[in-house]
Amino acid sequence: MVVLAVAVAALSAAAPGMTSSDGAVAEPRTFYVSTAGSDAGPGTLERPWRTVVRAVRALRPGQRALVRAGTYTERVDVGRSGTASAPIELAAYPGEQPVLAGRLKVTGDHVRVVGLAIDGTGGAAFDAALYIASAEDVEIRSCDIRKSAGSGVFVGDPREPSRNVRLLRNRIHDNGTDDFHDHGIYWAQGTGGVIANNVIDRNIGFGIHLYPDADAVVVRQNTVVGSGRSGIIVAGDRLATADRNLIVNNIVAFNGEFSIRSSWDGATGAGNVVRNNLLFGNAQGDIPPDDYLKGLEIGPGNRVGDPRFVDRDAGNYRLQPASSARDRADAAYSSTRDFDGRRRPQGKRPDIGAFESG
């Protein structure tokens, strides 16, 4: 991707040792985007850029773009890469949540996306709101990912699977138009990732779909509710299998089929462990029949019990005092912060699910 001349001029004061993927030296710097800005400007706080596209085309390792409140109707491709020690970051301005009304695609390595609302309303069929392809070390945190015609998040590219993708503390909801293809998170190809502390609700297909070549993904302390199909599925196909995935400390409740399952009609894979999850109110059963557990190692601690959400109808999945999820998480697989950023544990042990109670 070619950097526009104005951005090159803005980066003339370089920091020693900070090198971009194309060999140019870049200065650690913050740029700004605002609906009142202009792409002809320098991208400063006083003279911000107008579009997110303009910002991501300029970013070099160690730099970030902060997006002010407002709606940005754009299809944004983050193709630039940072480095392991100097990632690039696209983030909401502190205290604000801008809305990106369109698809966000990440193909660059060492990228952070923080605090955006990604709204896929009006997108093409099967078009995910967030698409991560052939990327390494990507973190998506504290975003609201919603109303896509396809899946909320799609991770995959069979030519070069992504590595170390982390989906943390996001709300992923109301996505999909086809219950076979569209899911909250559709992790197709990728290895060594983490899905943690997310609220994943009211998606038309599966809440979390690990298929067909998802390997070594840790799915922990999520709250998966109201999926049209099952809450979580791990499955393979004729060409690939899902292997060494861990599903632990999740609440999987009130989904349209089962809680956690594999596919009854194909290969799953090996080393897929399901342990210490709270299951409740799933329409076809909390514990699937054996045909839907092929390729899953059912570990200790899985239990059926009412999570007692504060207000499920209103989408408030925090826990009441009598919740079966409180103080029940396996601490060895617990995050240090919950969906709200609250420190875990607050009680004797961490809570199961995305929220930690006081």
Domain extents for the chain? 120-333
Q: Which residues partner with 296 through β-bridges?
A: 272
Q: CA of 250: how far to CAs of 175, 209, 274, 278, in Å?
A: 20, 14, 10, 6
> In percent, how much of the chain has pLDDT > 90?
87
What is the average pLDDT value for the chain, to the nearest integer? 92
- Band (pLDDT 50/70/90 cuts) for residue 354 is very high
pLDDT tens-digit readout, 52-98: 999 999 999 999 999 999 999 999 999 999 999 999 999 999 999 99
Q: Which two tokens stand for residue 73?
A: 């109707």
* pLDDT score recorded for residue 26: 53
d(CA 73, CA 70): 10
d(CA 169, CA 203): 17
Q: Residue 329: CB partners within 8 Å, gap ≥ 6?
A: 221, 249, 276, 344, 345, 349, 350, 351, 352
Average pLDDT for 263-291: 94
Q: What is the dihedral of CA 70, 75, 81, 83, to 10 degrees?
A: 30
CATH of the structural domain 120-333, one choice from 3.10.150.10, 2.160.20.10, 3.40.250.10, 3.40.50.880: 2.160.20.10
